Structure 1
Amino acid sequence: MSGYDSNPFVDPVDINPFQDASITQATQGVEKIDEYNPFSSRTSHHSDTTIPISEQSSQPAVLQTSVEQSPKTTAAAAQADLIRKQEELEKKAADLEKREQEFQNRTNIGSTNTGTKVNNWPPLPNFFPVKPCFYQDFDQEIPDDYRRICKRMYYLWMFHSVTLFLNVLGCLAYFTAESDKAGVDFGLSILWFILFTPVSFICWYRPVYKAFRADSSFSFFFFFFVFFFQVAVYIIQSVGIPRWGNSGWISSISMIKQNLAVAVIMMVVAGFFTVNAVLAIILLKMVHGKYRRTGASFTKAQQEFSQGVMTNRSVQTVAAGAATSVAQGAFGRS
Structure 2
Amino acid sequence: MQPHPGERPPKPRSVLLAEVAQATQRLADAGVPSPRNDAEELAAFVHGVKRGLLHTVGDADFDARYWEAVARREAREPLQHITGHAYFRYLELQVGPGVFVPRPETESVVDWAIAAVRAMDVVEPLIVDLCTGSGAIALAMAQEVPRSRVHAVELSEEALVWTRKNARHADQAAGSRVTIHHGDARTALPELNGQVDLVVSNPPYIPLTEWEYVAPEARDHDPQLALFSGEDGLDTIRGIERTAHRLLRPGGIVVVEHADTQGGQVPWIFSEASGWADAADHPDLNNRPRFATARKALP
Higher strand proportion (structure 1 or 2): 2
Higher helix proportion (structure 1 or 2): 1
TM-score (norm 1): 0.20
TM-score (norm 2): 0.21
